[in-house]
Amino acid sequence: MTESFSQNSLREMASNWLPQHRIPRRFRIHKDTTNIFRVEYDDVVVLGGKPYLIRHNAKELRFGLDDEVKFWVKRAIDLRNGSPKIMKLVFYENFVSRIAGIEFECFRSPRKEARILNLVAHSKTFMHGFSIEDEQGNLVRVLDFIKGKPLFTYVRDIALDHQTYFYQCFPRILDNYMECIHAIGFLHEHGEKHGDIRRDHILIDSDTGQYRWIDFDFNYRHRENIYGYDLFGLGNVLVFLVGKGDLLLPDLKKQKHPALSTLREEDVNIVFNNRVVNLKKIYPYIPESLNRVLMHFSKGANWFYENTGQLLEDLGELRNAA
């Protein structure tokens, strides 16, 4: 049964969490979120009889840009207790991604994300939340807000030269990242995929320091290795972490870096051909065992990881040897 809220009751609840001058004189109330563009700032979305006050659209860091608006993802306040939430409305898109000649059909799936939220409800390595249908059957996901930095931002902002970073910071970062890889393996063991593995889809919880995966509404189809797209994503993040950022060929050319003369086509990323993967040619102190792992994600790779266990085994061996 859906509860109805009067304007006065909504204002009274909002007054517990907002200063008086920020409380709107009148709320627009939505019980149907089909038109995601109609759900705007200061509106109230009622789901399962519970009111959520919409604040603004969420934004996403991507490739250094911090202003990509996700208009189907809303910041919100649970008016019952004031807790901050992320509300993901139903939005569909699809595209084809190609990696080393392998084609992946990618698409958004709210139901897939809802399944994973149930699966990882007690895991500290994932975002938490629940899914609920609105009055028109749209599957909305209501997520707990995680206060913290994306892993991408955290690594980028470490004010150390690469060699100091590699010896002082990277071992701890790698240990935490290996826990993230274990978490993706848990999904795979249960027949699920993350679907959109990127360095900005790991948040470092400021309360606990825990690395946590977010945003798993993308799904993909591939006949040979159904987890291949996730594995390529894990490799891209690993290369970023080892390099303390992306080593781009255009930047190396501008710097007239001495290693340029040694770089070959097989030394670049299998997905992003302007990124160097053979990092040992740039940073000679990187162990050969670690560089071999990176090269499985290069254009010159003749063998790819088939599961997270293989990747973790190689990373575990080099950590034990350290």
Residue 66, both tokens: 């911090």
pLDDT tens-digit readout, 152-171: 999 999 999 999 999 999 99
Q: Are residues 167 and 297 in the same domain?
A: yes
- Residue 222 belongs to domain with CATH number: 1.10.510.10
Place of tokens 């840009």: 65
Residue 26 near residue 7 (C-beta atoms within 8 A): yes
Q: Are residues 154 and 295 in the same domain?
A: yes
Report CA 46 to chain centroid distance, whole Å: 27
Structural domain of residue 18, as residue ranges?
1-89
Q: Three-state SS for 193?
A: coil
List, edge to edge, every strand of the sheet that includes 202-205.
148-150, 202-205, 211-213
Residue that terminates a domain, selected from 57, 72, 89: 89
Is residue 156 in a domain?
yes
Which amino acid appears at position 304 of this protein? F
Which residues make beta-bridge pairs with 50? 47
The residue among 140, 125, 102 whose CA lies nearest residue 176 is 125
Q: Calculate Rg over the CA atoms of the chain.
A: 22
Q: Are residues 224 and 316 in the same domain?
A: yes
Q: Are residues 71 and 189 in the same domain?
A: no
**Could you tell me the end-to-end alpha-carbon distance of the chain, in angstroms, rounded to an integer?**
59
| Tally of CB atoms within 10 A around 273 | 10
The structural domain count of the chain equals 2
* pTM for this predicted structure: 0.92
Residue 164 confidence (pLDDT):
98
List, edge to edge, every strand of the sheet that includes 102-108.
94-99, 102-108, 218-221
The residue among 303, 277, 311 whose CA lies nearest residue 291 is 277
- pLDDT tens for the chain, 322 residues: list them: 446 899 999 999 999 999 999 999 999 999 999 999 999 999 999 999 999 999 999 876 554 445 678 899 999 999 999 999 999 999 998 888 877 677 788 899 999 999 999 999 999 999 999 999 999 999 999 999 999 999 999 999 999 999 999 999 999 999 999 999 999 999 999 999 999 999 999 999 999 999 999 999 999 887 677 898 899 999 999 999 999 999 999 999 999 999 999 999 999 998 888 999 999 999 999 999 999 999 999 999 988 999 999 999 999 998 887 6
pLDDT tens-digit readout, 94-152: 888 877 677 788 899 999 999 999 999 999 999 999 999 999 999 999 999 999 999 99
Kind plus residue range of the DSSP H or E element containing 241: helix 228-243
Q: Are residues 162 and 234 in the same domain?
A: yes
The residue among 245, 235, 234, 251 whose CA lies nearest residue 165 is 245
Place of tokens 């159904």: 226
Is residue 104 in a domain?
no
